[in-house]
Structure 1
Amino acid sequence: GPPLLFSSPPQDTPSDVPTLAPLSLGSPLADRSPSSSARGTDWMDSRNSSIYGGDSFMGGMRKVTSARDLAGYKGSPPVALWPGGAKVAVQIVLNYEEGGENCLLHGDTQSEHLLSEIIGAAPLQNERHANMESMYDYGSRAGFWRLHKMLLKYGVPVTVFAVGMALERNEDAAAAMQDAGWEIASHGYRWIDYQDVAEETERDHISRCVEIHKKLFGKPPAGIYQGKPNIHTRRLVVEQGCFLYDADSYADDLPYWTFEFGRPHLIVPYSLSENDMRFVTPSGWSHGDQFAQHLMDTLDELLEEGH
């Protein structure tokens, strides 16, 4: 996955735009106050800004002003100044969704059917799915704690994409994430498809996530990965005002800025390729060695490319 190392917007950015300092993987996010005068060092080499000319480059990263940017870095990505001269920064994401999936007990009209060991699972309309519910229960009852123990044992820094309703239903797990020093980003209020959800409902769900984070962790989330967004999601995220970045993009290997909604907004692209969900997809893996080899091959290629 992509890194959680950010730069500040350029010096001529309006004063109400949040500032960012370079961050270490897994460390708490820097001062997120919009009025902060602190300015971090741009993590992209500013010498590369000339390849785009004028003000089309922001803080070393391409400034995107249209709804879709098909040009990107035009085959010449800027040099990422990772700490220690590293060529690649890796973000390890733990998705915490159990308790926020489709279920009649959550007010839904159908059961969950995605990401389970049930081959060919289909949603049950107006019925509960006992096996599906218990598989999701395993994630919060046992799976999370096994991963928590392993990650702490090896000192692996983690970003958690946490569904708001799931956090509400298991505050012990939420406390363990915080005590571990992990970054806890939002994964939406529900683990559902927001494609056809009314804008007012989605806006309310995003606001609920912010309030849940304030209650459980004492601060709003800095990042969000809705996971199953729609074309309005990013605007609603930016309007919320507290998010420094979202990960609802698969468009690049490097972070990039957008200006679609009147202020700088950082995109930290996610990956569904280097992702264990492929254990439950038709063209996925059948055992851990395949997953590990794929991750190593990907890292080797990125190291060879140097970004």
Structure 2
Amino acid sequence: MRDFQGYGRDLPAFRWPGNAGLAVSFVMNFEEGAEFSVADGDVRNEGVYEVIDPRAGWDPCIDSHFEYGTRTAWWRIADTFDRFDAPFTLSSCGRAVERSPWLAQDAVARGHEVSAHGYRWQSHADMGMEEEEALILASLAAITQATGQRPVGWHTRSACTPNTRALLVKHGFLYDSDAYNDDTPYVVPVDGRRHLVLPYAFDTNDMQFQHTQRFDTAASFAEYVCDAADWLAREGAHAPRMLSVGLHLRMIGRPARMKALEQILQHLRTKEGVWIATRAQIARHWLAVHGGA
């Protein structure tokens, strides 16, 4: 059943660590190698990217665009976060982790969270329960095997199914991010249990460089994200707020866009009342202090 009211004006009395009013979650999407590619034996290539002349057969152009994320972008992105001592959540497709386990391992060594983003980079819409469960378990196993740490968070590409949350609860996930309807975490009932939702966002997201060209320069993206942080921090003086900043290795990691990430981190590190945290840290703090309410 859809909920159009949410908290309304009755937001919970709650503070983030350090008495912060705003929790900022950087989500680094790691999908490279999990996308559809004829070169990998798939019947089609991934259709979402900056390539304007898609091919039905082997497409080295789009393949190499994805490879840029692991070959080059990861190192400059990870080193930039290190400079600001800022943790992020590496939202990882299981197959991407299988093909580049070193990347997930490096993320863990640097203190970041590795969460699950499906097995392949695909929507789960219209999947049957058995197929979806198999993919959830495959993603969980791939990440656990590579990192030695079991993922506690989940985010489906595009649409989930009516069974997704029940399967996540069944297999012990702490939270999911399959919602875009709030600026504050909330719980939902799932099979007699209360399950935590950490809403995600598509506007404060570097995907807008490619899908809509809403952001045409690093400055425009940085300004937009910083404006969102300023507004939510102001609201956070009275109620707990959360900002998700969605990033992708092959997108934000391009040289002309990296200045945006640097400016955003600089802005947040000089702003009072802001806690930069992984989604697992946010979830655990919420559950520890606020319980399942």
Pairing partner for 1:268 from 186, 195, 198: 198
Provide the C-alpha distance between the structure 2 equivalents of 1:128 and 1:261, rounded to a whole number of angstroms.
44
Pairing partner for 1:235 from 145, 166, 169: 166
Secondary structure (helix, strand or coil) at the match of 2:28 reads strand
Partner of 2:10: 76
Provide the C-alpha distance between the structure 2 equivalents of 1:186 and 1:86, rounded to a whole number of angstroms.
27
Q: Provide closer, same or farther for how the CA distance between residues 107 and 262 of structure 1 changes in structure 2, counting only shifts above 3 A.
A: farther
Question: What is the correspondence of 1:165-244 to structure 2 with a 5 Å cutoff?
Answer: 165-231=95-161, 232-240=163-171, 242-244=172-174
What is the RMSD computed on CA atoms of the aligned residues? 1.6
Pairing partner for 1:87 from 13, 17, 21: 21
Question: What is the correspondence of 1:85-164 to structure 2 with a 5 Å cutoff?
Answer: 85-114=19-48, 116-119=49-52, 122=54, 124-125=55-56, 127-164=57-94
Secondary structure (helix, strand or coil) at the match of 1:92 reads strand
Distance apart, 1:235 and its partner CA: 2.2
More helix by proportion, 1 or 2?
Answer: 2
Identity %: 34
Provide the C-alpha distance between the structure 2 equivalents of 1:138 and 1:244, rounded to a whole number of angstroms.
32
Provide the C-alpha distance between the structure 2 equivalents of 1:166 and 1:226, rounded to a whole number of angstroms.
15
The one-letter code sitting in structure 2 at the alignment partner of 1:118 is V
Q: Provide closer, same or farther for how the CA distance between residues 74 and 110 of structure 1 changes in structure 2, counting only shifts above 3 A.
A: same
Q: Give yes or no for the alignment of 1:293 onto 2:223.
A: yes
Provide the C-alpha distance between the structure 2 equivalents of 1:282 and 1:95, rounded to a whole number of angstroms.
19
Distance apart, 1:263 and its partner CA: 1.3
Partner of 1:278: 208
TM-score w.r.t. the length of structure 2 is 0.76
More strand by proportion, 1 or 2?
Answer: 2
Structure showing greater relative contact order (alpha-carbon pairs closer than 8 Å, 6 or more residues apart): 2
The structure with the largest alpha-carbon Rg is 1
Distance apart, 1:107 and its partner CA: 4.0
Distance apart, 1:248 and its partner CA: 0.8
Secondary structure (helix, strand or coil) at the match of 2:22 reads coil
Secondary structure (helix, strand or coil) at the match of 1:69 reads coil
Provide the C-alpha distance between the structure 2 equivalents of 1:282 and 1:94, rounded to a whole number of angstroms.
20
Partner of 2:252: none
Q: Provide closer, same or farther for how the CA distance between residues 217 and 74 of structure 1 changes in structure 2, counting only shifts above 3 A.
A: same
The one-letter code sitting in structure 2 at the alignment partner of 1:214 is T
Gapped regions of structure 1 (runs ≥ 5): 1-66
Q: Provide closer, same or farther for how the CA distance between residues 283 and 261 of structure 1 changes in structure 2, counting only shifts above 3 A.
A: farther
Gapped regions of structure 2 (runs ≥ 5): 242-293
Provide the C-alpha distance between the structure 2 equivalents of 1:283 and 1:174, rounded to a whole number of angstroms.
30
TM-score w.r.t. the length of structure 1 is 0.73
Partner of 1:44: none
